[in-house]
Amino acid sequence: MTVKTETWTQDSMVGQPAPDFTREGTNGTVHLSDLLGQVVVLYFYPRDNTAGCTTEACDFRDAIQDFATVHGAVLGVSTDSLASHEKFTAKYQLPFNLLSDPEAETAKEYGVYKQKNLYGKVSYGIERSTFIIDAQGIIRYVFRKVKVAGHVAQVKDLVGRLSGE
């Protein structure tokens, strides 16, 4: 079976400073600006404990050593509560910080909080997206409407390139 992978988009945010934020997470409070000097993988996902989100989180978990080797940090963001994130982290032994964005403030800053239409029912939620931010805090790659299969491998490759590995 061939897995079709998406490519990063030449998004208007590429080349721009990453919007700074402060969020509570499973491993403490994160200020994005405190991570300068590291390549940051900031991935937004719709919900804890759903099939695609679980697969994506476990793929990042399984690749965490590759990111650590190149001084990369992985952060997951959804509108779920911190309590939900803590259960999700414990259940799947996730070694990276999941950040709670209950009012979707950070998701809106990154343009990933979207109107969705499922069987005629309109709602709002996070569109699965990934941002790769370089060590100077500049967004270098953006993936929107992420397809989970093969995504983490692409992200690892790009992070490695940014890190000079």
82-92 vs 51-62: helix crossing angle, rounded to 10: 60
58 catalytically annotated: no
User: One of 13, 18, 40, 53 is an active-site residue; which one?
Assistant: 53
Half-sphere exposure of 20 (CA within 13 A, CB side): 7
Distance CA 9, CA 87 (A): 33
151-163 vs 51-62: helix crossing angle, rounded to 10: 40
- Cβ atoms within 10 Å of 131's Cβ, excluding its own: 26
Q: Distances in Å between the alpha carbon of 32 and those of 75, 82, 116, 151?
A: 10, 18, 28, 23
- List the catalytic residues: 53
